[in-house]
Amino acid sequence: MSVTAIADFAEQLARDAGALIRREREQNTLRTDYKNHTELVTHADVMADEFITRAIRERFPDHRILSEESMPDLSQAEELDTPLWIVDPIDGTVNYAYGHPQVAVSIAYAERGQVQLGIVHAPFSAETFRAERGQGATLNGESIRHSGCDTPRQALFATGFPYTKDALAPLLRRLDTMIHRCRDLRRIGSAALDICWVACGRLDIYYETVSPWDFAAARLIATEAGAEAGHFSSVPEGQPEELWGQDIVITAPALYQTIRQWLAEASRQVC
């Protein structure tokens, strides 16, 4: 099956899952729980996850799935011989629980550690970002491109904060560096949408440490829109770079080296 045919399947799956989670929030009393005592999860997360993974298994029984809710085994990203789906049924769960619209369904498909297609569907804003490797990126079918920003002082950046708050010092040093040298900060609450917004020019910079399901699809969308993506710390040998979520940075190309250097230096500072 061609990558385009797989992308069509993934896009429809993301749209259907988006309709499901939108329906759940509008029609039902929201049911919530916590993973690891800190991370919010809703009944809709689980429902959407089951819906997506069941459809993938039925269509591609030999493929593996890395999914935040039902199959969050990160070692899946290290075994490269079998095609891998990377799924986040609701990226922005806290936003979802509080009625904020910045929520997305994220689906990526990878072969041998390289993401071949990415779909990020935002059901409350009716926006679907899509990319296939080598084919560019689109928003609702129209081509998108990064902002072209080349001056950090004029750059709008986004980042996120971890659920656990026991190792905030490096994060705060990075934030201090960025907030004093860039235009301003936006805290959107969905890594997938942060990155897609870099792809379409609504943001100029994004950095954070996240899991593969948070960024795999959006990273391809951003790079296919011409943005630069990488890390401000080293990627362990043998790890597929496109699925390694520690210290990722994605920017308009002219900003990349400067921002990467600033973030790396801030991370090394000793208080």
pLDDT tens digits for 127-161? Answer: 999 999 999 999 999 999 999 999 999 999 999 98
Q: Where are the beta strands (DSSP E) in the chain?
A: 32-35, 39-42, 64-67, 84-91, 104-111, 114-122, 127-132, 137-139, 142-143, 156-158, 184-186, 205-208, 228-231, 248-251
The β-bridge partners of 4 are: none
Same domain, 130 and 159: no
Q: Which residues contact 126 (CB under 8 A, 6 or more apart)?
A: 140
Co-location of 75 and 109 in the same domain:
yes
On whether the CB atoms of residues 117 and 111 are closer than 8 A, the answer is: no
Residue 167: which pLDDT band, with cuts at 50, 70 and 90?
Answer: confident
pLDDT higher than 80, residue 164: no
Could you tell me the CATH number of the domain that includes residue 45? 3.30.540.10
Report CA Rg, the chain.
18
Tokens 């899952």 sit on residue: 17
Rounded (10°) CA dihedral 143, 150, 244, 136:
20
Question: Exposure pattern of 9-42 as b/e (b: 16+ CB <10 Å)?
Answer: bbbebbbebbebbbebbeeeeeeeeeeeeeeebb
Same domain, 169 and 131: no
Statement to judge: residues 110 and 156 lie in one domain:
no
Q: Write down which residue in 143, 174, 208 finishes a domain.
A: 143
pLDDT at site 112: 92
Inform me whether the pLDDT recorded for 270 exceeds 70. no
In this structure, the answer to whether residues 112 and 190 fall within a common structural domain is: no
Q: Clarify whether residues 119 and 229 are in a common domain.
A: no
The CATH code of the domain that includes 244 is 3.40.190.80
Output the six-digit token pair for 107.
């689906």
Domain span holding position 196: 152-268
* Total number of domains constituting the chain: 2
pLDDT range class, residue 268, cuts 50, 70, 90 = confident
Structure tokens of 86?
């990377």
- In this prediction, residues 263-268 reach a mean pLDDT of 94
pLDDT at residue 211, as a whole number: 94
DSSP state of 71: B
Q: What is the pLDDT of residue 171?
A: 93
Q: pLDDT for 79-114, tens place per residue?
A: 678 999 999 999 999 999 899 999 999 999 999 999
Residues 160 and 132 in one domain: no
DSSP letter (8 states) at residue 153: G
Q: Which residue has the higher pLDDT, 258 or 69?
A: 258
pLDDT at position 1: 86
pLDDT above 60 for 32:
no
Rounded Cα distance between 183 and 206, Å, is 13
Q: What would the mean pLDDT of 7-31 be, rounded to a whole number?
A: 89
pLDDT attached to residue 265: 96
> What is the per-residue pLDDT for 37?
42
Confidence band of 39 (pLDDT split at 50, 70, 90): low
166 shares a domain with 126: no
The pLDDT value recorded for residue 27 is: 80
**Whether residue 133 sits in one domain with residue 34:** yes
What is the mean pLDDT of the segment spanning 53-76? 85
Please give the model's pTM, rounded to 2 decimal places.
Answer: 0.94
Same domain, 195 and 246: yes
What pLDDT, on a 0 to 100 scale, did the predictor assign at position 18? 98
CA atoms within 13 A on the CB side of 254: 11
Judge if 68 and 192 occupy the same domain: no
**What is the percent of the chain with per-residue pLDDT over 90, rounded to a whole number?**
79
Final residue of a domain: which of 143, 164, 194?
A: 143
CB 223 within 8 A of CB 196: no
**Residue 159 and residue 215 share a domain:** yes
pLDDT of residue 70: 66
pLDDT at residue 271 greater than cutoff 60: no
- Of the three residues 143, 167, 196, the one that is the final residue of a domain is 143
Nearest to 258 by CA among 145, 180, 169, 181: 181
Q: What is residue 159's predicted lDDT score, i.e. its pLDDT?
A: 97
Are 250 and 222 spatial neighbours (Cβ–Cβ below 8 Å)?
yes
Tens digits of per-residue pLDDT, 247-258?
Answer: 999 999 999 999
